[in-house]
Each structure stands twice: as structure tokens, then as C-alpha cells.
Structure 1
Amino acid sequence: MPFAGKAPQIHESAFIAPGARIIGDVTIGPDASVWYNCVLRGDIHRIVVGARSNVQDGSVFHVEGPRPDTEGEPTIIGEDCVIGHMAVVHGCQLEDRAFVGMGAVAMDGARIAEGGMLGAGALLSPGKQIGPGEIWIGRPAKYYRTQDEAQIAKIKFQTDRYCQLAKRHLAQIHGTPED
């Protein structure tokens, strides 16, 4: 849905599930997926979801608009990111291959570096920074440890799986054979 003269820009290869709401200044990249009952509301700043990233069911993305003391905070999701079910991502940035667990909350000005992970149910407070490959857990989230190669491979597996699953759902919705 357009808002204030800005309409979502959705790559033709992206999957937007029925029931998802994409509003305003939102860009969805190639092979990205936004699943059932998600809301991405780019009404007072922009939202970007990078290539092959997936935003799983019931997640909410919003932004922080300009104020007298700041230009606001967009929500920027890099490539190959995994956003778990029912996550809230508000005015923060995720670099490539970042992971936000189910039910986690990432708040204004927070940043998750490449390969960083915010654990399920965790709360990343405003302005906090998760370093490359670090895992943070808890409410409020605190550093737990750095991921090993096996965990990094699982994130890649999840990204690949969701790209394939999106194609299967799209085929089912359109009644076409799966490739």
C-alpha cells in the first residue's frame, strides 16, 4: 500500500505471502520473502530487506521518524538475513547474514553486524551493537559467545531453505507446478 506518495518496491522474484502488509517506503530485494501476517510499515522512514533475506510469520518492522534531535532511524536488513517468527525490528540495521530469533526485539539505533545473532526472545536495547559472529541473549540482551562455523552454516542453510520454501508457496498460491 502506498503512503505519503511512496509505494513499496518489491523485486519480481520476492515472495510476499497473502496477509502480509507492506506499507510506504519499503524495498524488498531479489528472492527475499515476507511471510504470513507480517507488517512492514515504512510510513515515517524507509525499510529495506536485502536479497534472499526472510521475514518469518507475524514479524513487525517499523522505523523511527525524524525528531528535532535526529534524522530518525530506518530499518535496513542486509542480504541472507533470517528474521524468526514474531520478531519486532524497529529502526535498526542488520548486516549481511545476521539472525534475529523468534520473538526477539531489536530497537532503535541497534546494529547487528555480519553473522551476528540475537537469540530467541531477546531484547536488544536502543543503540546496542552486536559484533560480527557474536550471539547475544536475554532481556536485556548481553553477549553470550561467538558462533562457530557449524552455527554459521546453519544460518546459510536456513536462508537457502526459505528461498526454496518461498518458491513452493508461490507455486501453491498460483496453482502452478513447482520447479
Structure 2
Amino acid sequence: MIKRDGLYPLQQIIHENPPMQEVPDVKKPHISQEAVVSAGSIIIGDVTIAEDAFVGFHAIIRSDSSYPMFIGPRTNIQDYVLIHCHPAEYIEVGEKPMGVFIEDSVSILHHAAPHGPLFIGRNTFIGQHVSIYGALIGRDCVIMHGAVICNYVKIGDHRFVEPGQVVSTQEQADALPAVPETYKHLNGSIVDHYYRLGKSYRETTNLFL
């Protein structure tokens, strides 16, 4: 399937990182055969993408100058999402340093920019155009469209961030309300949709890796 080194038929670029002072070891992405990587996407370096994950069109996941990244099972990374990490900074997951760690069944919507060091917990929803720069985000959270999260804040489980809200201090993070009843099943429906969509793409089209 490879047209030439690292370039796949629909312009997916799956390639090892260049050696850098920050990341001297050269590593290729590890992508499950049950994952879907759509046309135009770029995945560089020590990135693991687990089974049934969906990477949308023109998404970019760059571990070219950072610690490893992990995208969990049934997580959907939608179109034009950019995932990167600050060089030499990391979080610890099971005593292992990671640049970005995204657990299972997370939704990250179009044009979001999750920037590490970053942890996103299971069943969390990240809306369109959300900007994150350094954070620990718990499980079952809902981060609505256009929100900004930064300065390495820690957001607990089941927390809600309103559209356009800025969370830049730990005091603001600690004051976040619980997810309203209206949004409690939002992420589950999206995860189910993208799981089925990925399966359909694999079975009926060539628009995937």
C-alpha cells in the first residue's frame, strides 16, 4: 500500500520522527489494524493508536519532539484536530512519561488543538475549536466548543466547561460544576457513531489506512 516511504495512497503520512536533542530515539507510529486513519492525516513519531480508534481527515498527531503519545480504543479524533506536546515536558501514566495520553472512548471534535503535556480521561467530550495547553482532564467530562484550558490545571471527573469558557487557574478548575443532565449522554452517542462510521469506512471504501 505504501506509495513511497511513509506516504500512503490517500496522502496519509505515517512516519518516524527525526532525531532531535529532545528526542534522540527514532520511532515509528504503532497503529492498530482495527483503527481508521483517514485521507490527508499526518502521524509522526512514537504515537500509539489503539483498536477501533478513528482519526479523521487532515488530523495531525505529532510526537516529533516530545515524549510518546497514546490514543485509546474507540476514541475519535475528528477532522483537522492538531495534537502536539511541549518539548521535554510530560505527565506520568503508570510511572511512564507521556507527552499526551488519551484514554478510551474520548471524542475530540473538529479543529480542536489539544497540546501536551496532557491527560484526557475516559468518556470525555472535547468540543469544536477547544484549545488546551497543558492539563489533566478527568473522566466523563464535557468541555464545550471554544473553551480554553491551560496552565497545567487539573480538572476532576464529571466536570463541565461552558462554551467559550477560559480555565487558566486551579481555582477556576476546582469551581467547575458537574456535567448537566442534558449533556451526560452526549459523548456516548458520538463514540458509538464514530465506531460504526469507522467500521463502515473500512468495509465499503478506500478512504482509510
TM-score range, shorter chain: 0.7 to 0.9
Alignment match of 1:56 (pick from 73, 78, 96) = 78
Q: Percent identity among equivalent residues? A: 25
Contact 2:142 2:183 in 1 (8 A): no
2:70 maps to amino acid? V
- Partner SS, residue 34 of structure 2: coil
| Structure 2 stretches lacking a partner, 5+ long | 1-14, 20-25, 90-96
Does the C-alpha gap of structure 1 residues 73 and 50 become closer, same or farther in structure 2, counting only changes over 3 Å?
closer
**CA distance in structure 2 between the aligned counterparts of 1:73 and 1:15, rounded to whole angstroms:** 23
Shift of 1:148: 4.1
Contact 1:123 1:139 in 2 (8 A): yes
- Residues 1:90 and 2:111 are matched in the alignment: no
TM-score (norm 2): 0.76
1:12 corresponds in structure 2 to 33
Shift of 1:127: 0.8
1:78 corresponds in structure 2 to 103
**CA distance in structure 2 between the aligned counterparts of 1:149 and 1:79, rounded to whole angstroms:** 22
- Partner SS, residue 184 of structure 2: helix
- Partner SS, residue 120 of structure 1: coil
- Partner SS, residue 127 of structure 1: strand
2:12 corresponds in structure 1 to none
- Partner SS, residue 128 of structure 1: strand
**CA distance in structure 1 between the aligned counterparts of 2:40 and 2:109, rounded to whole angstroms:** 17
TM-score (norm 1): 0.88
Contact 2:160 2:180 in 1 (8 A): no
- Partner SS, residue 125 of structure 1: strand
2:185 corresponds in structure 1 to 153
Q: How is 1:11-30 mapped onto 2 (pairs within 5 angstroms)? A: 11-30=32-51
What is the aligned residue count? Answer: 171
- Residues 1:102 and 2:116 are matched in the alignment: no
- Partner SS, residue 171 of structure 1: helix
1:34 corresponds in structure 2 to 55
Shift of 1:144: 5.1
Contact 1:65 1:73 in 2 (8 A): no
Larger radius of gyration: 2
- Partner SS, residue 174 of structure 1: coil
- Partner SS, residue 124 of structure 1: strand
| Structure 1 stretches lacking a partner, 5+ long | none
Contact 1:130 1:136 in 2 (8 A): no
Shift of 1:111: 1.3
